[in-house]
Structure 1
Amino acid sequence: MSTTSSMPKSRAPDVGAPSSRAVLFDLDGTVVDTAPDLAGAANDMRARRGLAARPIDAMAPMCSYGGRGMLAAAFDIAPGAPDYDAMYDEFITTYAQRMTRASYPYTGMRALLTDLADDGVRWGIVTNKPERLAVPLIAHLAFEPAPGCVIGGDTAGVAKPDPAPILLACERMEVAPTDCIYVGDSDRDIAAGQAAGMPTIAACYGYIPPDESPADWPAERHVESIAALGEAIQSLWKSY
């Protein structure tokens, strides 16, 4: 897993597919490397308490769990701990103030999305990140083409692994679930995509906690890079 991102310098592999299809992505750890700002917000909280910063790389594997994961990584606390709710609210506020400071698409992601668009394939975001955070982050990054939808963890009233957010994305983009692929870096993503009736790709380059093994996730494809992701999308189009 890499927590260092930069703008892509090369074109991603061709992912030719019919125009009736779409690729839906998780956000953090799949499309955008948000670890510097997520971990940065947690370290800002530590600084307020006179504590030394923890390394971003050490906290990054927990980024997939959002604020809950960052509080666990930075303070070794879980829901139910004293003052947990107040600390969670503090984290969300702190993160919102800095979430565009050092978060960038993974190298090659913009090129991949351009290739999808060139082939008439649309894309969208389905994340467990609250909509009030996901929408402005995506807007700030100014993807071209823009996603067809941004579904947050609270948009559908339930979050992944429930398939409802993914099905809502299909509804808003007017595409059948069977004509979509879902890509994510957690077992929740794979479970949600498959429950929604679409093939899935495990983004093993993302935020994987040390006690989890993506090889055990029942995704149709497992990839270690954006280049491999483009190839996996192309392969799945041919299989379905």
Structure 2
Amino acid sequence: MSASFPAAVLFDLDGTLLDSAPDMLAAVNAMRGARGKAPMLLAELRPHVSKGARAMVRQAFPELDDAERETWIPEFLETYERELGLHGRAFDGIEEMLATLEQAGCPWGIVTNKPEYLAAQLLPKLGWQERCAVLIGGDSLPARKPDPLPLLVAAERMGVEPVACTYVGDDERDITAARAAGMASVVALWGYRLSEDDPFAWQGDVLIEDPRELRLAASWPAPS
């Protein structure tokens, strides 16, 4: 554990900073309704949110084969964009944790697999557009998580060595990317997981149940 806050912190977005599942649910239910299907329940979709658009469309329309499902992704993204920020919110404790980092002089940014144009629209809705030091989406670079490239570029843009950064995420891809980038990692246990996921097997440096724990410098892992 660390005696001080990291030099910089990078976060995943959906399932880590933002409880966006209600927005996603509104999108898939709009698509299901247009096809005469009953709405899904939040509990049915929520575990799949961190796996991305394709996983959510697969859960909403399991009868489709992979090829047909792929053609529905643009419709999902367009529908989701209309619901963006209308139903979801930051997880409890996130605002307090971010404020603590800022008070400690620790810059923070976001590295997400969500398309950058969607993530960028969320920042002003959350009041983060002036606070977030860097934003990299899943389409910002030639590779996305679990590839370490987005994390490495984010650190470079923040002017911080990767080994001085910590990455926080709720999915195995986040922890894999952090390890490959040479960053310490925090597993956000408050996020989205499938029942078969085992976050203890991801080899994150620390596992945290509540973002409020990260208001304490001692809760953060020591640099890699």
**TM-score calculated relative to the size of structure 2:** 0.93
* C-alpha displacement of 1:31: 0.2
CA deviation profile, 1:111-130 (whole Å, cap 9, x unmatched): 11111011100000000000
2:90 is equivalent to residue 105 of structure 1: yes
Q: Distance in 1 between matches of 2:131 and 2:36?
A: 41
1:118 aligns with 2:139: no
**Residue identity matched to 1:50:** G
Query: AA paired with 2:18?
Result: V
Count, aligned residues: 222
Amino acid at match of 1:236: W
Distance 1:99 1:122 in 2: 26
Task: Quote the residue 1:9 is aligned against.
Answer: none
Cross-structure match for 2:55: 69
2:174 partner amino acid: D
- Note closer, same or farther for the CA distance 1:94–1:215 as it changes in structure 2 (3 Å cut): same
Structure 1 unaligned spans of 5+: 1-14
Secondary structure of the corresponding residue to residue 134 of structure 1: helix
Q: Distance in 2 between matches of 1:138 and 1:147?
A: 8
Amino acid at match of 1:73: Q
| SS of match in other structure, 1:181 | strand
SS, match of residue 15 in structure 2: coil
2:178 equivalent to 1:197? no
Query: Given residue 174 of structure 1, which amino acid in structure 2 is its aligned partner?
Result: G
Rounded Cα–Cα distance in structure 2 between residues aligned with 1:202 and 1:78: 33
Identity percentage of aligned residues: 39
User: What's the Cα RMSD here?
Assistant: 1.9
Under a length normalisation based on structure 1, what TM-score does the superposition of the two structures give?
0.87
Higher mean displacement: 64-73 or 193-202:
64-73
Aligned residue for 2:138? Answer: 153
Greater alpha carbon shift after TM alignment, 154-163 vs 72-81:
72-81
Distance 1:107 1:165 in 2: 27
**Would you say 1:133 and 2:133 are equivalent positions?**
no
1:17 maps to amino acid = F
Instruction: After TM superposition, give the deviation of residue 239 of structure 1 in Å.
Output: 6.2
Provide the C-alpha distance between the structure 1 equivalents of 2:191 and 2:116, rounded to a whole number of angstroms.
21
**1:17 partnered with 2:5:** yes
Secondary structure, aligned partner of 2:40: coil
| Aligned with 2:18 (options 4, 29, 32) | 32
Aligned residue among 223, 226, 229 for 2:211 = 226
Alpha-carbon offset, residue 78 of structure 1: 6.7
Q: Which runs of 4+ in 1 moved over 6 A?
A: none
Judge conservation of contact 1:68–1:78 (CA < 8 Å) in 2.
Answer: no
Q: Determine the C-alpha separation between the residues in 2 that align with 1:37 and 1:159.
A: 23
